Amino acid sequence: MIHHSCDLCKRPLDPEDDVRYVVKMEVYAAFDPLTLSQPEEDGDHLQDLDEIIEQMEDLSNEAIGDDVCQQFRFDLCPECRKKFLANPLGRKIAEKFNFSKN
């Protein structure tokens, strides 16, 4: 039997009594569309692609993956779900500190 616990408060979740919520997050690099210009008639596009592939082969797969996309999955209890939905980016915590303007 699989046992679940809340990833925020660490409380064990009983599958018969507790509702378990799943939060999935995906963080990825946003690529803006390129402005297309007239293609160069005399350019060697296959050579350009070959150079790009050679550069990518020099990098490790982990380095490319972490920079491009990361996925997360969390299990939450009902109370922690409410907290998460009220402040999903954690901004309100930073706003609580009121520093004087010395």
Rg (CA), the chain: 23
The pTM assigned to this predicted structure is 0.59
pLDDT over 70 percentage in the chain: 72
The 10s digit of each residue's pLDDT in 5-41 is: 999 999 999 988 889 999 999 998 887 776 556 666 6
Strand ranges for the chain from DSSP E = 4-5, 12-13, 21-28, 69-76
Q: Where are the domains of the chain?
A: 1-29+58-89
Q: Which residues of 8-40 are buried (b: 16+ CB within 10 A; e: fewer)?
A: beeeebeeeeeeebebeeeeeeeeeeeeeeeee
Mean pLDDT of all residues belonging to the chain: 80
pLDDT of residue 73: 96
DSSP 59: S
Structure-model confidence comparison of residues 44 and 80, the more confident one: 80
Q: Both tokens of residue 6?
A: 């809340």
Mean pLDDT of the 65-73 span: 81
pLDDT band at 47, cuts 50/70/90? confident
Place of tokens 């060697």: 44
